[in-house]
Chains A and B, each alone.
Chain A
Amino acid sequence: MARKTATALALASVQLGGCGLLLPPGSVDDFVAQQRAAAESAEAGDELVVALAHWRTLAMLNPDDQRTRAEIDSLKAQIATRAGEAVERGEAAYERGDTQAGDAAMLEALALRPGMEQALTPLRASKSVAAHGRQDKKVAAEYAQRAAVEDEEQAAAMQDALAVLEQSLANGDYERVLAEAKGSEAAMRDLTQRAHLGLADRAGKRGDRDGELHHLGVAVALANGEDRKLMAREEALRESLSDEAYQGGLELLQTDLARAIEHFEQAMLYDPKNLAAKQKLEQAQKLKNNLERIRGA
């Protein structure tokens, strides 16, 4: 009977030990040895946060152990000093614009004091500036690429349009050229100018000298005053038309004063430098005024 009870107690002891109501033999010693070794290894690897955690778990099991307390105090002091120094170095590096050194110092501080605001905030700000810089570059590059593609497409479309208009010009279809030549590009301006010249020639041939002058005037304007030959041609035409009007005025001076004045005015419009026309216009207007005054009296 006694043997049976002893056996039952032995069995129960094994069971209780197994389920943790009694600690397995040596388990505390094993834990202490493991945590000490881990703490020393972490400290050797400069992982002070992990080392501190190991020592703190040991202190929980044995609060009176002086060595553990001393290790904890020493680690806490080391961590505080080194983290503070790293933050100071980081701030100085950022101050002088050395982002890389600043980031490295702040990471060093965070490794010592995870979540340390004085390190995390400037590090995050630094990373944010760099990331926004990369984003801006990416967006600008894509924008430029899109613009280049659009420019290329526009250039191709322009070449097609120019070819069609060149053909129209060659066919003498100047009106179509003027209707379809859009835009301020040099090639379009050149086409338009040539179309106006064509129309000027055509008007000249059929005796429409006013029409010729109009188209020549537009062509000269499109050349931005840089085509001297064209300007000379326009000037000659203006002088010729001005002289014709002047001569017509002279012929009418004795018979129809009002129409003569119109001719002189027209001569001045064609060529403001026509001094003879200017003189005759003044004389005719004076004469007209005198006549009106006599009639009125």
Chain B
Amino acid sequence: MLQRVRRAGLLALIGALLGACMGSGGGPVTRADLNVLESDDDFAIVSLRRGQKVEDLARIFLGSEGEAWQIREVNGGVAAKARGIVAVPLKPLNPTGVYADAYRTVPILCYHQFTRGDEASQRLEFSARDFEAQLRYMRREGFQFLSFADLAEIMQGKRPIPEKSVVLTIDDGYGSVYDVAWPLLKKYNARATLFIYTDFIGAAAALSWEELREMDASELIEIESHGKSHASLAPIAEDTSVDSYRLRLAKELSGSEAVFMARLGRSPRFLSYPYGNSSLEIARMLDEVGYELAATVTRGANGSFVDPFLLHRTMIYDDHTIDDLKTFLRTSRQH
């Protein structure tokens, strides 16, 4: 009898331990499921349990599975084997992304209009077929689609530049963004930043505010400013004095902001310069009124130390091939 009781107690204990071991019962791994051996402000040392992956640690400690590269970086660059011990960086190891012989960069691509078919009727139009081919390529190659908000955090040193990342931007606010690009962005779970000039919205060829609000509510699309009237924000012939130039800039920025407030209930944080043209004056003004980043159309990728108001951006034209895209998606540069 005593033996039976002892045996029952032992089996109950084993059962309880095994129950605890099963964790959250087949659902996603949570912080409570982890076996953290040691931790301080900078690192956690975790012993992976059966079924747990580095991607789970990235999601739990770093906010996204896409950040798993940070864990690999402090574990000799190799994927931790199942049931092994893994070091997890709790702070970015290298927030500026500058290494001994090269530095990391983030390419920004700039699109304008899209067509449903296979062909584009003008250089700034991009066919749905080609856009999907580009998205498929970037997804397959493991590129993270960053938002401008992500980029702002990188520029502020709050997060590191990923191994492979890209920012998609779409200028102007053509209706084809909603009809053609938006379904593809959803299909490939690709983030994009849409820069609109507010005078255009509601025109026949443009997006409506309803469409913009729908996309803005998603996690995939950011709606930001491309000015009010699409006038160049660099000095132009009509600017007869510095004062008249400043006045024109102030009108462009405040006009755009007023519409953002009225239609989307918030101010824009980022801007893309119409025609990609900037000046010291507009860069200073953007900084003063609280913008965080602004993009030109000067081709090139961005290190963490570039001027945040003169980000490089590469225009995508309908004659660009996947091979062209590969050259635009440069994610590191030798010193």
For residue B208, CB closer than 8 A to chain A, the reply is: no
Given contacts A8-B10, A38-B77, contact A47 B100 (CB under 8 A): yes
* Pairwise interchain contact A61-B37, C-beta atoms closer than 8 A: yes
Nearest Cβ in chain B — how far from A228, in angstroms? 42
* Pairwise interchain contact A139-B76, C-beta atoms closer than 8 A: no
Please indicate the chain A residues that have their CB under 8 angstroms from the CB of B3 in the complex. Answer: 1
CA distance A34 to B92 in the complex (A): 21
* Pairwise interchain contact B74-A53, C-beta atoms closer than 8 A: yes
Within B56-95, the residues touching A (CB, 8 Å) are 73-78, 83-87, 89, 92-95
* Pairwise interchain contact B21-A19, C-beta atoms closer than 8 A: yes
For residue B157, CB closer than 8 A to chain A, the reply is: yes
B39, B76, B296 — most chain A CB neighbours (10 Å): B76
Nearest Cβ in chain B — how far from A204, in angstroms? 47
- Counted as pairs of residues, one from A and one from B, with CB atoms less than 8 Å apart, the total is 172
A16, A19, A136 — most chain B CB neighbours (10 Å): A19
For residue B217, CB closer than 8 A to chain A, the reply is: no
Given contacts A20-B35, A139-B234, contact A134 B298 (CB under 8 A): yes
CA distance A35 to B22 in the complex (A): 29
* Pairwise interchain contact A35-B307, C-beta atoms closer than 8 A: no
Partner of B50 from the list A18, A53, A127 (CB cut-off 8 Å) is A18
* Pairwise interchain contact B76-A34, C-beta atoms closer than 8 A: yes
Within B154-194, the residues touching A (CB, 8 Å) are 157
* Pairwise interchain contact A15-B78, C-beta atoms closer than 8 A: no
Within A1-50, the residues touching B (CB, 8 Å) are 1, 5, 8-9, 12, 15-16, 18-21, 23-24, 27-28, 30-31, 34-35, 37-38, 41, 45-50
Nearest Cβ in chain B — how far from A98, in angstroms? 15
Partner of B85 from the list A30, A47, A50, A107 (CB cut-off 8 Å) is A30
Partner of A20 from the list B7, B83, B96 (CB cut-off 8 Å) is B83
Within B263-281, the residues touching A (CB, 8 Å) are 275-280
> Smallest CB-CB separation from B89: which chain A residue?
A53
* Pairwise interchain contact B94-A19, C-beta atoms closer than 8 A: no
Please indicate the chain A residues that have their CB under 8 angstroms from the CB of B38 in the complex. Answer: 60-61
* Pairwise interchain contact B96-A135, C-beta atoms closer than 8 A: no
Please indicate the chain B residues that have their CB under 8 angstroms from the CB of A104 in the complex. Answer: 335
Given contacts A20-B49, A53-B89, A107-B335, contact A124 B96 (CB under 8 A): no
Given contacts A61-B37, A114-B94, A115-B157, contact A139 B100 (CB under 8 A): no
> Smallest CB-CB separation from B273: which chain A residue?
A135
For residue B235, CB closer than 8 A to chain A, the reply is: yes
* Pairwise interchain contact A111-B87, C-beta atoms closer than 8 A: no
Please indicate the chain A residues that have their CB under 8 angstroms from the CB of B97 in the complex. Answer: 114
* Pairwise interchain contact A45-B100, C-beta atoms closer than 8 A: yes
Partner of B335 from the list A16, A108, A124, A142 (CB cut-off 8 Å) is A108
For residue A221, CB closer than 8 A to chain B, the reply is: no
CA distance A24 to B81 in the complex (A): 12
Given contacts A27-B83, A135-B310, contact A114 B277 (CB under 8 A): no
> Smallest CB-CB separation from A39: which chain B residue?
B76
For residue B103, CB closer than 8 A to chain A, the reply is: yes
Nearest Cβ in chain A — how far from B101, in angstroms? 8
B contact residues vs A (CB 8 Å cutoff): 3, 7, 10-11, 14, 17-18, 20-23, 35, 37-40, 42-43, 45, 47-50, 73-78, 83-87, 89, 92-101, 103, 157, 232, 234-237, 275-280, 283, 296, 298, 303, 305-307, 310, 335
A contact residues vs B (CB 8 Å cutoff): 1, 5, 8-9, 12, 15-16, 18-21, 23-24, 27-28, 30-31, 34-35, 37-38, 41, 45-50, 53-54, 56-57, 60-61, 104, 107-108, 110-111, 114-115, 120, 123-124, 127-128, 131-132, 134-136, 138-139, 142-143
**Sample of 15 more A-B contacts, CB < 8 Å, known A24-B47, A136-B279:** A9-B14, A18-B49, A19-B22, A20-B21, A20-B35, A24-B83, A24-B84, A27-B85, A49-B93, A50-B93, A61-B38, A61-B85, A110-B96, A138-B276, A139-B232
Q: Which 10 A-B pairs have the closest CB atoms?
A: A38-B76, A20-B35, A19-B21, A128-B307, A31-B85, A57-B87, A20-B49, A110-B98, A131-B310, A46-B100
